[in-house]
């Protein structure tokens, strides 16, 4: 059955949650007919959601070290935002199995209060083991949520390294959560994760852990001042908070807004324009990968090439050239 794109557009603009869910399912799909319908849908929504000025939703990426309590923090932040009049969309990108494509998709069950909030929408989405899939599906899902009237969109990353960079390239501000005594204060800078962060918060700063968290925040702030010394660039503030107790969550959000204000309207417009260009190339790469997988020419030699590579009879560069030649041969037939 063909997708009723005009009906979906009307439902999204009316803020209908079922229409939003169906639209996000559509943009996540890899089926050729669904991809075509998704393009039609997003074009129809463009006048509502594709603007790149400060009038659109605040887009925030959130990541953190394992066990930092991302879901608990996001729920606390989401509840704070809805209580202050915002409509909040959460895209929780869960790890997917590279072998099976399976995904835990447990974030919604961990955000019990927020998931019941009529002014919030939570969408757990499998990453399908590919960052290209994350870039395409998540960026388009954000546009759907904005068109439905959600003025804050929070994107929780998979948290496996490169995914943070991918998500940072599609949001206005990137919030990194860490813990005291994890070694991530300096190790994170070495890995580059903290270098893409715009705001940093040491979570679980409650009870007996508060003093330790404040000490970790001071150490991290000192390290960042060395990294950013000598320039006028935004220096990521380091705060302490407790998602579990709801402590200083509002302060963390204010720092996110401060970063957005630092960008200014022109800076935000330029940043989103650059992201749109990068997204264009991400879509090109994603589409070429899909066409390669569907290629009759590639399908005809795939098993033979695989066997020869595994047997050591064919080097990887030669095998790649052979597969690309087979793909190019599709057009010649």
pLDDT tens figures, 106-126: 455 578 899 999 999 998 765
- Residue 93: helix, strand or coil by DSSP? strand
DSSP code of 258? H
Determine the Cα–Cα distance for residues 18 and 273; give it in Å rounded to an integer: 30
DSSP code of 68? S
Which distant-in-sequence residues (6+ apart) come within 8 Å of 79 by Cβ? 113, 114, 117, 246
Taking the C-alpha atoms of 201, 117, 145 and 200 in order, what is their torsion angle to the nearest 10 degrees? 0
Instruction: Identify whether 281 is part of a domain.
Output: no
User: Looking at residue 155, which CATH number applies to its domain?
Assistant: 3.40.50.300
CB 209 within 8 A of CB 220: no
Q: Produce one character per residue of 48-70: b if its CB has 16 or more CB atoms within 10 Å, e if not.
A: bbeeeebebbbbbbbbbbeebbb
Determine the Cα–Cα distance for residues 253 and 58; give it in Å rounded to an integer: 11
The last residue of one of the domains, among 242, 263, 284, is 263
DSSP code of 227? H
Burial of residue 303 (CB within 10 Å: 0-12, 13-18, 19+) is: exposed
How high does pLDDT run on average in the chain? 84
DSSP codes of every residue in 124-181: EEE-TT-HHHHHHHHHHHHHHHHHTT-SEEEEE---SSHHHHHHHTTSSEEEEEE-TT
**Chain segment 131-144, per-residue pLDDT in tens:** 556 677 888 999 99
Determine the Cα–Cα distance for residues 200 and 120; give it in Å rounded to an integer: 24
Q: Are residues 150 and 250 located together in one domain of the fold?
A: yes
Full residue range of the structural domain in which residue 322 is found: 295-332
pLDDT at 101: 43
Q: Number of folded domains in the chain?
A: 2
CB 250 within 8 A of CB 144: no
CA nearest to 29, candidates 105, 123, 102, 133: 133
Q: How confident is the model at residue 332 (pLDDT cuts 50, 70, 90)?
A: low
Rg (CA), the chain: 22
Most confident of 29-33, 156-160, 325-329: 325-329
The last residue of one of the domains, among 263, 281, 305, is 263
- Residue 199: helix, strand or coil by DSSP? strand
- Residue 279: helix, strand or coil by DSSP? helix
**Helix 296-310 vs helix 316-332: angle between axes, to the nearest 10 degrees?**
170
Q: How confident is the model at residue 161 (pLDDT cuts 50, 70, 90)?
A: low
Which distant-in-sequence residues (6+ apart) come within 8 Å of 228 by Cβ? 235
The backbone region for 157, taken as left when phi is positive above 0, alpha when psi lies in -120 to 50, beta otherwise, is beta
DSSP code of 196? G
**Token pair 């050729």 in the structure block, residue:** 32
**Chain segment 216-273, per-residue pLDDT in tens:** 899 888 888 887 777 778 999 999 999 999 999 999 999 999 999 999 999 999 999 9
100, pLDDT greater than 80 = no
Query: Within 10 Å of residue 101's Cβ, how many Cβ atoms?
Result: 12
pLDDT at 325: 94
pLDDT at 290: 83
Q: Are residues 236 and 154 located together in one domain of the fold?
A: yes
187, pLDDT greater than 70 = no
Instruction: Identify whether 78 is part of a domain.
Output: yes
Q: Are residues 300 and 212 located together in one domain of the fold?
A: no
Instruction: Identify whether 19 is part of a domain.
Output: no
**CA 282 vs CA 27, 60, 175, 196: distances in Å:** 15, 20, 23, 19
Q: Are residues 327 and 203 located together in one domain of the fold?
A: no
Determine the Cα–Cα distance for residues 202 and 238; give it in Å rounded to an integer: 7
Instruction: Identify whether 14 is part of a domain.
Output: no
Instruction: Identify whether 246 is part of a domain.
Output: yes
């Amino acid at each position: 059955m063909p997708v009723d794109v005009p009906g979906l557009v009307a439902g999204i603009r009316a803020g209908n949650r079922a229409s939003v869910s169906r639209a996000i399912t559509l943009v996540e799909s890899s089926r050729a007919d669904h991809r075509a319908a998704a393009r039609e849908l997003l074009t129809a929504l463009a006048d509502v959601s594709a603007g790149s000025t400060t009038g659109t939703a605040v887009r925030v990426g959130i990541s953190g070290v394992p066990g930092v309590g991302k879901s608990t923090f996001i729920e606390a932040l989401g509840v704070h935002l809805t209580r202050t009049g915002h409509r909040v969309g959460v895209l929780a990108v869960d790890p997917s199995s590279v072998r099976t494509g399976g995904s835990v998709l447990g974030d919604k069950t961990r955000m019990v209060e927020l998931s019941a909030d009529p002014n919030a929408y939570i969408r757990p989405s499998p990453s399908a083991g590919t960052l290209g899939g994350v870039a395409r599906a998540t960026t388009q899902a954000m546009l759907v949520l904005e068109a439905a009237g959600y003025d804050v969109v929070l994107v929780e990353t998979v948290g496996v390294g490169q995914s943070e960079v991918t998500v940072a390239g599609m949001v206005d501000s990137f919030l990194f959560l860490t813990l005291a005594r994890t070694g991530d204060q300096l190790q994170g800078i070495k890995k580059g994760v903290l270098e893409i962060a715009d705001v940093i918060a040491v979570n679980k700063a409650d009870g007996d852990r508060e003093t330790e968290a404040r000490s970790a925040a001071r150490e991290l702030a000192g390290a960042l001042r060395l990294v950013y010394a000598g320039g006028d660039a935004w220096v990521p503030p380091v705060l302490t908070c407790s998602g579990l107790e709801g402590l200083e969550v509002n302060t963390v959000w204010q720092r996110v807004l401060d970063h957005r204000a630092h960008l200014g309207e022109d800076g935000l417009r330029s940043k989103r324009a650059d992201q749109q260009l990068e997204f264009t190339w991400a879509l090109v790469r994603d589409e070429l990968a899909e066409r390669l997988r569907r290629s009759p020419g590639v399908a005809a030699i795939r098993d033979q090439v695989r066997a020869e590579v595994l047997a050591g009879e064919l080097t990887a560069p030669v095998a790649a050239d052979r597969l690309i030649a087979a793909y190019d041969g599709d057009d010649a037939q």
